[in-house]
Amino acid sequence: MWIWLLFFQQVQADEFITTGLGTEVYITYSLVSLLLISISGLMSGLTVGLMSIDELDLEMKLASGTPTEQKQARKVLSIINHHHLVLVTLLLSNAAAMEALPILLDTMFSKIISIILSVTFVMIFGEILPQAVFTGPDQLNIACKLIPVVKIITVILFPFSYPIAKLLDRCFGANHGGRRLQNKDIKALVALHENDVIEESGATSVTGLVSGQIKMIHGAIDLREEVVKNHMIPIEKVFFLYEDTVLDEITINRILKQGYSRIPVYSSENKQKIKNVMHVKTLLCAEHGKTIQESGIKLRAPLSVSQNTTMYELLGKFREGKMHMAIVSDEKEVKGIITMEDVLEQILKTDILDEDDYDKLTSFLAGNLVQNKLSSPQTRTTRQRKRLSALHPRFDEFSMSTISMA
């Protein structure tokens, strides 16, 4: 309360306008005051506008933006790369304008009035409005058009701003390059862009990514973190043959019923070593009644990987085309196998069922339809998963719902 009383006493004691100045001086001082307010607003807006532009966004516009956006991003990047020099230059200009304005107003008005005018003009026209405009939807466009102004001011104030900028570089580092997102950040960013329905002018449009696309992108990102041992098929579930296995009618029928395109072949001398991989299609040219080794069919040397090999490294080996099945082993024994299909399932984040899998699963579901109706959904799912693991090691609830709907 006493502050307001003191304020009104001061107002009554002072003259609002200094009468000792002529009209021309008032007009000149008023124009200079408007210029200082404009400079303060321009520097304040540029400080917030330029310094708040994300370099990662600019790099994205350089890579995928329109020609106009690429040109604008290139100009702005050339300036904000000198982060501290531009920052100090803009702040010095803003500080000089804001400090000169009260001094000039004090010669035109009483102290109370000059303070009120200075605070009002600086707050509204020197801070709020400029920063709202410079950080608005046309932020990049405005910043690009004012780059020449920033360069001129930088040259003028270079003797003062450069030493301070170098000191800041030594204290905080000169490298203020665009931030890089981690894998989890990229996955979260992709998930935020799930498809959205937009209604505009009576028309409906869908933008963004569908769930399947998001899963594929997440799966591709996870390839470098996922290791083979978490996705391989254990050797206990693998169908295999030996080199000395005779290719008679019973054996060939057993091979064909499995529905596999490639079969591991163990050495006849060392029962713990997978020596080759046989393509089932080569049985068309095989001589029946002889062993695999004597039949003359072409066997391929297996591709061996460790349990800690990443799925990304495995995909690179598969891309070489030598083999699309890899033997997973440690120094002592074979642990399992993994195929190109397992890598694709990791990328797609769901199971891939071929024709043989589909036939087996539909036959299984049809044969157990009555039993399934009598059991609870939770028990039925558990029982089915246990029995179906022998048919398809990667079978999941999504695959079952797909088969059931078919």
Q: How confident is the model at residue 18 (pLDDT cuts 50, 70, 90)?
A: low
pLDDT at residue number 71: 92
Q: Is the pLDDT of residue 388 over 50?
A: no
Listed in sequence order, the residues at least 6 apart from 401 whose beta carbon sits closer than 8 Å to its beta carbon are none
Q: Read out DSSP for 54-86?
A: -HHHHHHHHHHS-HHHHHHHHHHHHHHTSHHHH
Q: E strands of 139-273, at which residues? A: 196-200, 203-207, 233-234, 241-242, 262-266
Q: pLDDT: is 264 or 4 the higher one?
A: 264
Specify whether the CB–CB gap between 240 and 262 falls below 8 A. no
Q: Is the pLDDT of residue 360 over 80?
A: no
Q: What is the pLDDT of residues 209-225, one digit of tens each?
A: 888 888 999 999 999 99
Q: Strand pairing partners for 200?
A: 203
Q: Is the pLDDT of residue 405 over 60?
A: no
Q: Is the pLDDT of residue 398 over 70?
A: no
What Rg, from alpha-carbon coordinates, does the chain have? Answer: 38
Listed in sequence order, the residues at least 6 apart from 58 whose beta carbon sits closer than 8 Å to its beta carbon are 73, 76, 77, 140, 178
How many Cβ atoms sit within 10 Å of the Cβ of residue 49? 23
pLDDT at residue number 316: 92
Helix (H, G, I), strand (E, B) or coil at 354: coil
Distance separating alpha carbons of residues 270 and 243, to the nearest angstrom: 10
Listed in sequence order, the residues at least 6 apart from 194 whose beta carbon sits closer than 8 Å to its beta carbon are 208, 209, 210, 211, 214
**Mean pLDDT, residues 122-147:** 91
pLDDT at residue number 386: 37
**Mean pLDDT, residues 60-68:** 88
Distance separating alpha carbons of residues 206 and 3, to the nearest angstrom: 60
Q: Which of 126, 116, 118, 122 is nearest to 102 (CA)?
A: 118
Distance separating alpha carbons of residues 51 and 173, to the nearest angstrom: 16
Q: Is the pLDDT of residue 266 over 70?
A: yes
Q: How confident is the model at residue 403 (pLDDT cuts 50, 70, 90)?
A: very low
* Averaged pLDDT score across all residues of the chain: 80
Specify whether the CB–CB gap between 170 and 77 falls below 8 A. no
Is residue 274 classed exposed, middle or buried when 0-12, 13-18 and 19+ CB atoms within 10 A define those classes?
buried
Q: What is the pLDDT of residues 275-318, one digit of tens each?
A: 899 999 888 888 888 888 888 888 888 899 999 999 999 999 99
Q: Is the pLDDT of residue 20 over 70?
A: no
Q: pLDDT: is 229 or 378 the higher one?
A: 229
Q: How confident is the model at residue 160 (pLDDT cuts 50, 70, 90)?
A: very high
Q: pLDDT: is 202 or 246 the higher one?
A: 246
**Mean pLDDT, residues 172-178:** 71
Q: Is the pLDDT of residue 157 over 60?
A: yes
Q: How confident is the model at residue 185 (pLDDT cuts 50, 70, 90)?
A: confident
